[in-house]
Amino acid sequence: MSILIRLAVVVATAAIVTPSLAAEPDWNTVGNALGKAGSPQPGGVYRVGLPRTDLKVSLDGVALKPGFALGGWVAFEPMGDQAMLMGDIVLTQDEVNPVMKKLEDGGIEITALHNHLLRAEPMTLFMHVSAQGDPVTIATALHAALALSKTPMENTSTPPATAQQIDFDTAAVDQAVGYKGKSNGGVYQFSIPRAEPIKEGGMVVPEAMGSAIAINFQPTGGGKAAITGDFVLAATEVNPVIKAMQASGIEITALHSHMLDEEPRVFFMHFWADDDAQKLAKGLRAALDNIAVKKS
């Protein structure tokens, strides 16, 4: 056999035994099936925001902005041409059971159901969901379930910048927290990843799928702000963080899980306060000093 023939045989054999790489899902098709478009995020994640802009919720006299404490979302992480879904859906009390049943019927698991805040009126609940499989099938099931709620599904444009002013000293807050925040719809937000990655089903859960510490500041006038969010904590960090927050006048409003099979095990702690923004930022920094987070 000549060299050229042997080479041709080797190339042909390699083409047969080498599997082709599966293409990532078509996110436009996924968005169409869900009924609302999302956007690509770091790590290849496709995330769709589901803020409850239809609700008027207040707490201690503060009207809560949707991006501050009512920001539901779902996110898809590609697994070849399949995907892992995680999400956090904001629901009113009467929406919980119809939506939950429809999700279960559609093959989507419920991983948590709970409050994030206390005294909010009307009360809202947060349903965490998970699934793996064909992303269009998952998105179709999500669409059917969300149709049983009043979650707005239209794609809305960002309000003009003039409507999103932050009237406290963001540079001073950044310095106190030790990280750089960003303005989003009148809310000043921090996303702080843990030092050690969190995995679910053997896959790393990226920041965009809820593995990072989230801190939100909503201005309430005169240099003050309301704060909420969730700390992502190892078991040994829970009580030191509670003590640090309470010492700074920050109320703990919930402590629970969001996932079922994460490694390492983590707990999510939600909080609330309305006070001088820089004072609260220093209190949050004291809490962060008890957590293994990535350095800024």
pLDDT exceeds cutoff 50 at 81: yes
Would you say 86 and 75 are in contact if contact means Cβ atoms under 8 Å apart?
yes
Q: What is the CA radius of gyration of the chain?
A: 22
pLDDT exceeds cutoff 50 at 8: no
Residue 221 CB coordination number (10 Å): 8
264 upstream amide cis, omega within 30 of 0:
yes
* Partners of 273 in the β-ladder: 227
pLDDT exceeds cutoff 60 at 225: yes
* Cα first-last separation, the chain: 63
pLDDT exceeds cutoff 80 at 1: no
Residue 234 CB coordination number (10 Å): 14
Give per-residue pLDDT as tens, 232-267. Answer: 999 999 999 999 999 999 999 999 999 999 999 999
Give per-residue pLDDT as tens, 141-173. Answer: 999 999 999 999 988 655 444 456 899 999 999
Q: Which pTM value belongs to this model?
A: 0.89
